[in-house]
Amino acid sequence: MALRLSTLFLRTLREDPVDAEVDSHKLLLRAGYIRRAAPGIYTWLPLGLRVLRKVEAIVREEMDGIGAQEVHFPALLPKEPYEVTNRWLEYGDGIFRLQDRKGADYLLAPTHEEMFTLLVKDLYSSYKDLPLSIYQIQNKYRDEARPRAGLLRGREFIMKDSYSFDIDDAGLDASYMAHRGAYLRIFARLGLEVIPVAATAGAMGGSRSEEFLHPVAIGEDTFVRSAGGYAANVEAVTTVVPDDIDFSNAPAADVRDTPETPTIDTLVAAANSMVPRDGGEWTAADTLKNVVLAIDLPTGVRQVVVIGVPGDRAVDLKRIEANIGAHLGVGGEVGVEAAGEEDLKKHPGLVKGYIGPGLSLDAPVLGSESSTKLPYLVDPRIVSGTSWITGANEAGKHVFGLVAGRDFSWDGTIEAVEVREGDPAPDGSGPLEAARGIEMGHIFALGRKYSEALDLKVLDQNGKLAVVTMGSYGIGVTRAVAALAESNHDDKGLIWPANVAPANVHVVAVGRGTEIFEAAEQLTAELEAAGLEVIYDDRPKVSPGVKFGDAELLGVPTILAVGRGLVDGVVEIKDRATGVAENVPVADAVKYILDKQ
Amino acid sequence: MALRLSTLFLRTLREDPVDAEVDSHKLLLRAGYIRRAAPGIYTWLPLGLRVLRKVEAIVREEMDGIGAQEVHFPALLPKEPYEVTNRWLEYGDGIFRLQDRKGADYLLAPTHEEMFTLLVKDLYSSYKDLPLSIYQIQNKYRDEARPRAGLLRGREFIMKDSYSFDIDDAGLDASYMAHRGAYLRIFARLGLEVIPVAATAGAMGGSRSEEFLHPVAIGEDTFVRSAGGYAANVEAVTTVVPDDIDFSNAPAADVRDTPETPTIDTLVAAANSMVPRDGGEWTAADTLKNVVLAIDLPTGVRQVVVIGVPGDRAVDLKRIEANIGAHLGVGGEVGVEAAGEEDLKKHPGLVKGYIGPGLSLDAPVLGSESSTKLPYLVDPRIVSGTSWITGANEAGKHVFGLVAGRDFSWDGTIEAVEVREGDPAPDGSGPLEAARGIEMGHIFALGRKYSEALDLKVLDQNGKLAVVTMGSYGIGVTRAVAALAESNHDDKGLIWPANVAPANVHVVAVGRGTEIFEAAEQLTAELEAAGLEVIYDDRPKVSPGVKFGDAELLGVPTILAVGRGLVDGVVEIKDRATGVAENVPVADAVKYILDKQ
């Protein structure tokens, strides 16, 4: 049945809502697709719900297509499984927690790894039951610190999440690739450009992981790509590690008075005035900057760590957040910030502005075996044989020519500094350039993290218990609606791709004559009889300007206007995307539109 | 695509799960339709989800059929609208409350009157926009004290809830009747017998209300009906009020010593031995029992009230709970219990076992204008001119012949006593009989309670602001799945009505020969090509007994067995409901099944 604007539950807005920042948010509100109920929490109005259901249907078909089976979990979940995997703690403030009338703890699920794992454990017991992929399309909840951009980062949102269960790594690889293929088909059908980029697994754990980013300027995710096809999010980029350098002929390290040089800039200036360098000037890249960070662990412990990086590179706290857990032996989300006065007070061995790893391997100042006992991690560019100007652990003194591997060592390397445009792609495919995108989907080869924690084992071919290996795969369904709106609009309104538009044709009756409304009504009926979905603007006393404005705002692909041309036997058919309009004889209108589908 | 049991995510159970009490719960668990995730919270497995989606689709079609428009609200809602209507308090322990990271209060919606009202207020402003009916099919949350019977009383469940908005009472009546009609069609299509019974509005407020009860022995709701077609839930039954009696010739009241007669039984025995009655014996029906109750109001106040009822009737606390709010001027759920010693201590004017309304209108002991100031409500049978034996407010004394309206008065009447089988139906349609049922739907003519509280007004025909009048209409969607299972099973398993079955045909390959599996595969393909949904038991090494057992347990309407008969060119086609099986030539099998649809 056609949606008639005389009765459709809709009110379009002329003005941009004050609290909407990005175009998709403004337009979805203005065109009456969604309405805000609370920060990051939205109500779907009839037109929005139609788009949402079409996106869901495409996702469902492609998931069914790879043999995944649909189930549906509760959103309200008991704490216990999330305690076993430690995510109850690891999520920190990021999830909604509550208690029932008996005081039992619950959460609103942010994602369902634990429940799926337990369900499979409950039902299955043999390798013959595998492989298995199951999924749901369901409400998710995250207590975002800053919900923003409408549906792009909400607190209640719909995700498709699926999980694969395999007996071995080869099986997981096949399941992962099947999902990867389904995701590419889903986004292609949605008309949504995505770039699969290598990602870190973060709090999810696991080995391999890719994000599907929709490249758009307002995207929250920064990623880098090379002309040669490399793409990764910034957290996941790996540094091209230089070869070790033979240090057998390197001069001995040399401590110098460098008064009042607590910063890299002052140090470089002092070095150039004090110790002229053969064949050029000292630059920040010659210095080793030792940054003291405080890491808030999910356990509540605050751990101080020192990270050594070339002085010309800024540390990137998000990259450190993504990578440091492995070094400290903790899972979950950690908080990373510069150590404060309170933190430094507890470590009097650190001389602010003049911190260094120590002058010899026998007397280390940084590192877990050193006098300070502070873990010392370094950027991967600091390889054996590289020579540095760095702090001598005395106020006003630096050491020149301190050689890595000869004079100092470290506990491990970490990707800790910002990735720059022009840095080489790790796969040799050329220099990196930066881009922004919205994360539309994310696939994880989880491995055995959850199955081990929750003891999901099956009998293998030899009758022995084997831990199942898992994958986890998500698509932001409500977010996809927003991303589609973000990338498909102009200054007049939305321009939906055909596969997800709330209707195929928007029929507008323009004018006051009865014959106009009769003809529009008749064409609406014929279009519907031909299998098309129609919005019919049958409002009797609304001006042509308002009607056309609403049609452009709502964004249905084809606008059919019945108006003054009717006396000459023609109607106007306009392509919303191109703006091209054509007068078509009334009798040919339906066929003309069908041919365009 | 056929559901193949070799890969379907399913495990059937031979034994009844220990924590399942009712048949539907046992069978839905055993047949692998649902799985418990927490008390009153369930996961839907693939077969269950198919049934659920079919129920939803029927509900959706009929709602669309009356012009209702689908929207979708969040489940996580801010407190504020529920504070305005006072339901934040009134729901007491019955809802889930939580706070976000900023300490703002939220609830998981038990029902959405407030949000729908605010949405319409947000979008609409004129009588021309009305009538409007909007609905959603959505998760609801209630923190039940005793979740039980599986999906029948859960804590996370799916409801269809709709809301109508009209400019006047005639409009509300039309919207109410449209929903009533849609509900009857929905339940008819589901194959679920329902009886619409008059109900009280309870915490919802409003004027007219009906429940749609599915009559079944395990139902939690007691209702009464007459052979003449009256049906009401017990809370809503109204007493047939006797006519007033002329008391001008009634003898004066007479106080007697009745030592040690604190109960109705001892009082009746004493009365018969002491004051022989003309033409018969005194019975409990001649006594006026004054019951002292303590009412816990949503505000936290505990209010003592006295209710006078004929001595032969027990008070029904649930009926009092449903009706007393109006007398005390409070909305929301109240708690009612017999007053305890602590309550009585505060009212020394009450002489336990000998409480009465007082001996004359000049010296009342009960009532808001009396010496005790306690509100005094009476059963509707206590009409002017009726004469009673009741307490004289002195230990060991009762008064005989105390005449209502002459000697004592009251603050109001209340439906306070149990309804008995044999009581007359209020509409004169005959004596009442008791029955039990499950509440499948509930419709409320809310009136202006929510629109007034939330200030939903539109301009009327005269350009004046008018408060919109509303209706609210619910159907338990997940509960319908359970009710269907409850009323459609035998000792072997489920027997789904065709409209909601997870498939039309369950094909079973019985035996080991390749030709059997090939024929079964071929029939499966042909049935699907003919538009039927098929479950195909293609498991290669499972015994015929297990396969037939599973087929009976799963409950698909038609079971097609391909087995030994194949050498003679026949397959067995069995009707799950009747158990009737027939051998049919292979070539005719598809047509035979199609003819039965």
Mutate to test the interface with B, among A45, A72, A136, A477 (most CBs of B within 10 A): A72
**In angstroms, rounded to a whole number, what is the distance separating the alpha carbons of residues A71 and B48?**
8
User: Mapping DSSP to helix (H, G, I), strand (E, B) and coil, where does residue B123 land?
Assistant: helix
Mutate to test the interface with B, among A8, A43, A123 (most CBs of B within 10 A): A43
Q: Inter-chain contact B46–A67, Cβ cutoff 8 Å?
A: no
Residue B578 has pLDDT above 80, yes or no: yes
Burial A163-188, CB ≥16 within 10 A → b, else e: bbbbbeeebbeebbebbbebbeebbe
Give the minimum alpha-carbon distance from B303 to chain A in angstroms, rounded to a whole number: 24
Report the pLDDT value the prediction gives residue B333, as an integer from 0 to 100: 72
Name chain A contacts of B53, Cβ cutoff 8 Å: none
The arithmetic mean of pLDDT across residues B34-43, rounded, is 94
The arithmetic mean of pLDDT across residues B85-108, rounded, is 91
Say which of B52, B74, B156 has its CB closest to residue A156: B74
| Joined tokens for residue A475 | 């698509």
Instruction: Name the region of B103 (left: φ>0; alpha: ψ -120 to 50; beta: rest).
Output: left
The arithmetic mean of pLDDT across residues B371-392, rounded, is 95
Say which of A41, A76, A97 has its CB closest to residue B108: A76
With contact defined as beta carbons under 8 Å apart, do B352 and B340 qualify?
A: no
Residue A200 has pLDDT above 80, yes or no: no
Residue A203 has pLDDT above 60, yes or no: no
Report the pLDDT value the prediction gives residue A550, as an integer from 0 to 100: 97
The arithmetic mean of pLDDT across residues A377-405, rounded, is 95
Name chain A contacts of B35, Cβ cutoff 8 Å: 119, 122-123
Report the pLDDT value the prediction gives residue A365, as an integer from 0 to 100: 95
Mutate to test the interface with B, among A34, A71, A161 (most CBs of B within 10 A): A71
The arithmetic mean of pLDDT across residues A303-324, rounded, is 92
Confidence at B200, pLDDT banded by 50, 70, 90? confident
Say which of B7, B11, B74 has its CB closest to residue A42: B74
Please choose, from the candidates B579, B428, B418, B420, the residue with its C-alpha nearest in 3D space to the C-alpha of residue B493: B579
Confidence at B205, pLDDT banded by 50, 70, 90? low
Name chain A contacts of B541, Cβ cutoff 8 Å: none
Q: Which residue of A has its CA nearest to B52?
A: A72
Say which of B42, B98, B119 has its CB closest to residue A74: B42
Proportion of chain B above pLDDT 90, given as a percent: 81
With contact defined as beta carbons under 8 Å apart, do A361 and A394 qualify?
A: no
pLDDT tens string B497-510: 999 999 999 999 99
Mutate to test the interface with A, among B36, B79, B101 (most CBs of A within 10 A): B101
| Joined tokens for residue A261 | 């040089």
**In angstroms, rounded to a whole number, what is the distance separating the alpha carbons of residues A393 and A190?**
59
Q: Inter-chain contact A141–B76, Cβ cutoff 8 Å?
A: yes
**In angstroms, rounded to a whole number, what is the distance separating the alpha carbons of residues A256 and A250?**
18
Proportion of chain A above pLDDT 70, given as a percent: 98
Report the pLDDT value the prediction gives residue B125, as an integer from 0 to 100: 94
With contact defined as beta carbons under 8 Å apart, do A96 and B96 qualify?
A: no
Q: Inter-chain contact A156–B32, Cβ cutoff 8 Å?
A: no
| Joined tokens for residue A520 | 């529009």
Q: Inter-chain contact A38–B74, Cβ cutoff 8 Å?
A: yes
pLDDT tens string A268-279: 999 998 888 877
Give the minimum alpha-carbon distance from A303 to chain B in angstroms, rounded to a whole number: 24
Burial A430-455, CB ≥16 within 10 A → b, else e: eebeebebbbbbbbbbbbbbbbbbbe
Phi and psi dihedrals of A147, rounded to 5? -60, 135
Q: How many CB pairs under 8 A join A and B?
A: 133
With contact defined as beta carbons under 8 Å apart, do B112 and B73 qualify?
A: yes
Confidence at B202, pLDDT banded by 50, 70, 90? low
pLDDT tens string B398-420: 999 999 999 999 999 999 999 99
Residue A353: is it exposed, middle or buried by C-beta count within 10 angstroms (0-12/13-18/19+)?
A: middle
Go through the domains of chain A in sequence order and give each one's CATH number.
48-71+109-237+433-486 (3.30.930.10), 254-413 (3.90.960.10), 503-596 (3.40.50.800)
Report the pLDDT value the prediction gives residue A583, as an integer from 0 to 100: 97
**In angstroms, rounded to a whole number, what is the distance separating the alpha carbons of residues B252 and B245?**
15
Confidence at B387, pLDDT banded by 50, 70, 90? very high
Residues in chain A: 597
Residue B266 has pLDDT above 60, yes or no: yes
Report the pLDDT value the prediction gives residue A202, as an integer from 0 to 100: 55
User: Mapping DSSP to helix (H, G, I), strand (E, B) and coil, where does residue B304 land?
Assistant: strand
Q: Inter-chain contact A1–B72, Cβ cutoff 8 Å?
A: no
Confidence at B572, pLDDT banded by 50, 70, 90? very high
Q: Which residue of B has its CA nearest to A76?
A: B156
